[in-house]
């Protein structure tokens, strides 16, 4: 029986990201996929700047850029075409990439799969249906239909909403009651067509969604009265009649027609012993925020760096207890916000919809724009206990320039992993003996793994602004870009480092005494 560090069950984007993150960290990974190959059809359509930052960490962001479209706005219109709500997205978000990308999922899966297959310590097995688990305390043995059993120290099940792992670990589902069947129609654009790129049509007669799938593909979705309607409505002639206001047969090719029932579900628990759920296996949400796949990629990133520490002997098994405690509050907030928006979009009562329209149109007349969509930070977990409110929130990324003249996004310049960032004044207080060795720059960054310190120029002032807004002068950022903790003065940095070292037996190479950092 072959043994691995981690078995990943399911080879969609979340499973691929999970396997790639662990594989790049040097761990031996097997991926068990029940189907014969890649799904090769679009499902998710959108990802955000944090997700692109993770793709950059994996090394595929530049490959994806020509195949995706950065979207600036998201319209909600009524049946008469009146603009009710317009959400705006920046071309550069807090994570240093565009806030909204429209994609054709097979392009993403091809890039992720190519990465996984390039890693010699990642093995991918298709036609490998897992039909049983045995958690033996120090490993999990998996029965694979028609093949030899597999053993791994840990299992991460990314087998989707219809996967079997959730039931096998006796996870219960909480259903928040928002469930709607939709007809999903995907097209490849072949002619000069200009359908809306991101629009929800809030028409009580026929709620619909129109979404770009990157430069060459488009999706039209129509709410159905029941799942039974699908067999009638899937007829290609009926589909073309539905999209006739936007597309003609000489402008596009119908790629697929599917039915999809939007659901709002949370599993509990996400972990049973050495078996862990991620992505749709752990949670499902309405699509109105475009956060389904993004949430799964966040799961993978959160879990991957903790498994890395654990497998490297730098953390205890209890670090995995922080996975659900951190991620579930975040996911639950996104689920509930998606339900809130979904109820606006799918309102079928004409009188209620007319009242909704009057309210939103009145808000626009008064220039009351919708609040920018913001997601909460992490719940309690692998975070500093010093009470600084920045802990658990996503840390920014912007353009930096080193004394040597290198310029670009922070991650591209300083790499990945935990990072300690300090204002220069705080660094001088923290390590006065070394401060004179650091070439000019606004902010000093320290790599805890090596102890090396280097300053950078804050090209756009984003980091200085962040420190000022958050009333701190030093911040310790985890490998998943979330903040472990922050402190107000350089004199408090040692305490932050000691706490990070103490948490789950992690050991940095920065001794917790002033003047100990190498330049």
According to the model, what pLDDT value does residue 430 have?
92
According to the model, what pLDDT value does residue 179 have?
85
According to the model, what pLDDT value does residue 509 have?
59
According to the model, what pLDDT value does residue 515 have?
40
Cα 149 to Cα 396: distance, rounded to the nearest angstrom: 44
According to the model, what pLDDT value does residue 450 have?
87
The residue among 489, 493, 492 whose CA lies nearest residue 453 is 493
The residue among 503, 517, 8, 63 whose CA lies nearest residue 299 is 8
Q: Give the three-state DSSP class for 437.
A: coil
According to the model, what pLDDT value does residue 519 have?
45
Cα 468 to Cα 462: distance, rounded to the nearest angstrom: 10
Cα 149 to Cα 142: distance, rounded to the nearest angstrom: 6
Q: Which residue has the tokens 């958690």?
A: 135
How many other C-beta atoms lie within 10 A of the C-beta of residue 167?
Answer: 11
With residue 256 as reference, give the H or E element that holds it: strand 252-262
Cα 305 to Cα 393: distance, rounded to the nearest angstrom: 16
According to the model, what pLDDT value does residue 513 have?
40
Tell me the helix, strand and coil percentages in the chain, rounded to 5: 35, 30, 40
What is the residue-wise DSSP string for 354-421?
HHHHHHHHHHHHTT-PPPPP------SSSS-SS--TTTTSBPP--EEEETT--EEEHHHHH-SS-EEE
According to the model, what pLDDT value does residue 180 have?
87
* Sequential pLDDT tens for the chain (519 residues): 899 999 999 999 999 999 999 999 999 999 999 999 998 888 899 999 999 999 999 999 999 999 999 999 999 999 999 999 999 999 999 999 999 999 999 999 999 999 999 999 999 999 999 999 999 999 999 999 999 999 999 999 999 999 999 999 999 999 998 888 999 999 999 989 999 999 999 999 999 999 999 999 999 999 999 989 999 999 999 999 999 999 999 999 999 999 988 889 999 999 999 999 999 999 999 988 889 999 999 999 999 999 999 999 989 999 999 999 999 999 999 999 999 999 999 999 999 999 999 999 999 999 887 777 788 899 999 999 999 999 999 999 999 999 999 999 999 999 999 999 999 999 999 988 877 778 879 999 999 888 899 999 999 999 999 999 999 999 999 999 999 999 999 999 999 999 998 765 555 556 444 444 444
Q: Do the Cβ atoms of 427 and 514 come closer than 8 Å?
A: no
Q: Give the three-state DSSP class for 317.
A: helix
């Amino acid at each position: 029986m072959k043994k691995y560090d981690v078995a990943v069950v399911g080879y969609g984007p979340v499973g691929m990201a999970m396997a790639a993150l662990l594989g790049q960290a040097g761990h031996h990974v097997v991926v068990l996929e029940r189907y014969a190959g890649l799904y090769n059809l679009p499902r998710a359509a959108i990802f955000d700047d944090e997700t692109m930052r993770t793709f950059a960490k994996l090394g595929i962001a530049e490959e994806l850029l020509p195949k995706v479209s950065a979207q600036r706005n998201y319209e909600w219109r009524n049946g008469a075409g009146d603009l009710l709500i317009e959400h705006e997205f920046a071309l550069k978000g807090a994570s240093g990439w565009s806030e909204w990308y429209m994609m054709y999922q097979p392009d993403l899966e091809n890039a992720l799969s190519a990465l996984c297959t390039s890693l010699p310590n990642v093995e991918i097995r298709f036609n490998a249906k897992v039909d049983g688990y045995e958690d033996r305390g120090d490993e999990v043995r998996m029965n694979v239909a028609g093949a030899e059993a597999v053993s791994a120290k840990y299992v991460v099940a990314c087998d989707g909403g219809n996967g079997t792992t959730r039931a096998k670990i006796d996870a219960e589902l909480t259903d928040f009651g928002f469930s709607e069947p939709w007809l999903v129609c995907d097209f490849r654009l072949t002619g000069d067509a200009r359908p809306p790129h991101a629009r929800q049509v809030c028409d009580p007669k026929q709620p619909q969604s129109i979404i770009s799938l990157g430069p060459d593909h488009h999706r039209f979705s129509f709410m159905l009265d029941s799942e039974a309607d699908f067999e009638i409505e899937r007829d290609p002639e009926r589909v073309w009649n539905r999209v006739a206001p936007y597309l003609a047969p000489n402008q596009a090719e119908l790629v697929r027609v599917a039915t999809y029932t939007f659901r709002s579900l949370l599993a509990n628990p996400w972990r049973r012993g050495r078996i862990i759920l991620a992505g749709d296996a752990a949670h499902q949400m309405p699509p109105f925020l475009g956060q389904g796949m993004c949430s799964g990629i966040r799961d993978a990133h959160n879990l991957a760096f903790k498994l890395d520490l654990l497998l490297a002997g730098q953390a205890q098994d209890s670090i995995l207890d922080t996975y659900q405690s951190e991620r579930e509050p975040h996911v639950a907030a996104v689920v509930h916000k998606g339900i809130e928006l979904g109820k606006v979009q799918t309102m079928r009562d004409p009188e209620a919809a007319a009242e909704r329209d009057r309210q939103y149109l009145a808000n626009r007349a008064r220039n009351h724009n919708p609040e920018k969509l913001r997601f909460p930070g992490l719940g309690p977990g692998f975070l500093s206990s010093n009470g600084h409110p920045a802990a658990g929130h996503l840390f920014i990324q912007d353009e930096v320039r080193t004394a040597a003249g290198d310029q670009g996004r922070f991650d591209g310049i300083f790499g990945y992993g935990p990072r300690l960032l300090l204002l220069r004044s705080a660094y001088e207080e923290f390590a006065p003996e070394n401060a004179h060795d650091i070439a000019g720059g606004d902010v000093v960054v320290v790599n805890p793994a090596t102890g090396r310190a280097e300053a950078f120029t804050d090209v756009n002032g984003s980091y200085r602004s962040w420190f000022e807004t958050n009333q701190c002068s030093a911040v310790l950022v985890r490998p998943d870009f979330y903040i472990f903790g922050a402190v107000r003065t350089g004199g408090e940095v040692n305490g932050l480092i000691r706490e990070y070292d103490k948490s789950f037996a992690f050991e940095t190479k920065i001794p917790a005494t002033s003047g100990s950092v190498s330049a």
